[in-house]
Amino acid sequence: MNKTFFYKASNLSEVFSWKDIFSEVLQPHTKEQRGQVLIRGVTGNVPAASRMLDEWQKPWLFLRFGVIGLFLSILAVWIWNTFALTWTVDGEIISMRGIDFAVYMIVAFFPLLAIVIFFWELNIPGTISIFEVVFLMLAGGLLSLLGTGNLLRLIPDIPKALGGPLPEEIAKFAVIALVLSRGKYKYGLEGILVGCAIGAGFGAIETAGYGLSQYNGNYSDAIIAEIMSTWLNNPSASQQEITGYLQHVAETLPQIAEEARKAATNTLVIRGCLAVGGHALWGTLYGGALGLAKKGSEKLRGEAFIDPLVILTWGSAFILHTLWNLDPSQLEGIASQETINFILVLSDSWIKSVLLIVAGGFILLIILRKCIRQIIAASQRAAGNRSENIQLGAAPEMGAAMNQPAFAANEQGWKTEPVRGKEQLILCAVSSGEFQHGKEYCLSVGGKLVFGRDSGKANIVFPQGTKGISSVHCEIRVKEGYPVLIDLNSSFGTYFSNGQKLEPNVPYKLRNNVKFYLASDTNSFVIKMK
């Protein structure tokens, strides 16, 4: 387990990089490690809550699977486009329709399955097996498709621009919520995986359908339409003329089939390349939010559906989906022709899709960080006397036994010597903002620093008219032997200098030179260890 990774992920005062997640992607893995990751989530191989972090392996399997999937996809497309679907053996035409199905399924499912495997590996609780993931993809995708069809019947007059996004996102949300209502799912990371699997299943089925539609539209449908048009336009054609035309169609079948294959291949490849930003991504957003809304309990209560984060993520997914599907022609009469042409250029060059993927990815990173912090806190609570060591930011390589109180600063800014005497100073919070600039407020053993406007409860008292400061805003005290900063459910929040907001009533360990502020950076302080 890389504890530095978890430490940085959980401590808002640290600069956090997601690159660390991928540090083992290219590392060789032993046979035992490969076996362990594949049986994760199977009965008897689910880690206890206190062991989640210790038994977790960083993601690496997804890349191997993705490379294999890419190879199989290229091979299937090459076979399909190189060899004719039919050939003659002893004068008899032999059909090879099986390759159609293989191409649709491999190209549609493999890119998305690789993405799902990544989130399966990232699922630190380890409660979901790879077999369950595949089942969720297939069953969840089909149920979402069923729900979409029923919604389209119930709401027949949906505006064209919303005809896909509205019913599809509602249907997927309902299926994801149904799955997450099971008691075995308690955390946001599980919600992300469930949302990704169901969204990926829906997206893969949709992609296969688009490929099939493109092929039929350029092959059988085109032939039938041409024949019907000829007959209708030549009602008096002789039998001989009709026979001659049909013979001409038969002779051009290979060319028609080739064009149909090219059209279908183009659709499958484009959607496969953009799969990372479609239904799988949108499902992860509100799946993760729903998982967080369970707050570690076995029940998905009604208030979860009005949780601000759930509403925000579903709304974001719906907007991203709507913009993804937007046909510039639908803006005629609303936007100028120049704007329409500009959007058309963005769409044709994939720029629009890339921008939407980046936007969705940014939201997902925020959700992921919240989910990882939730897991860290839950794991440490379950570990008893180590309940908050990682959540409070204690990295093992920084020395000091994790459960020993210590207060003298070393070169990294952490305290490594035990307290001697109740009057010993621990730290000083030095004002670096407009309020009492330069003044030191010192914390000694057994005391606490309370920031706020209420002079009866706070000992660092702001003027009554100070904007954004609550009556009792935040405090610094000793918890589990370490100095911590806790937001006391303030109205406008407490923040570290990098702009990250502290969760209310959650302690964050402090070290030397950490900077934080109350509501705005005009009310900022810097920690100086003593």
- Report, as an integer, the average pLDDT of 291-298: 88
In angstroms, how far is CA 70 from the centroid of its own chain?
22
Give the residue extent of every domain in the chain: 3-382, 404-529
pLDDT at 393 over 50: no
- Residue-level pLDDT at 138: 93
502 pLDDT band, cuts 50/70/90, is confident
Q: What is the pLDDT of residues 119-128, one digit of tens each?
A: 999 999 989 9
The pair of three-digit structure tokens given for residue 402, joined into one six-digit string: 């994790």
Quick check: 483 and 443 in contact, CB under 8 A? yes
- Residue-level pLDDT at 15: 54
275 pLDDT band, cuts 50/70/90, is confident
pLDDT at 390 over 50: no
- Find which of 230-234, 359-363, 416-420 is predicted with most confidence, using mean pLDDT: 359-363
- Residue-level pLDDT at 284: 96
List Cβ neighbours of 154 (8 Å cut-off, separation of 6 or more): none
Q: Across the chain, what does the average pLDDT equal? A: 80
User: Is the dihedral angle over the CA atoms 392, 397, 401, 404 positive or is it negative?
Assistant: negative
Q: What is the pLDDT of residues 212-259, one digit of tens each?
A: 888 777 677 667 666 676 666 666 766 776 677 667 666 677 677 777
Nearest to 154 by CA among 137, 174, 138, 140: 174
DSSP code string of 30-78: -HHHHHHHHTTTSTT----GGGHHHH---S-HHHHHHHHHHHHHHHHHH
- Confirm or reject CATH 2.60.200.20 for domain 404-529, answering yes or no: yes
How far is residue 7's CA from residue 11's CA, in Å, rounded to a whole number? 6
Order across the sheet with 508-509: list the strands: 460-461, 449-452, 474-479, 482-487, 508-509
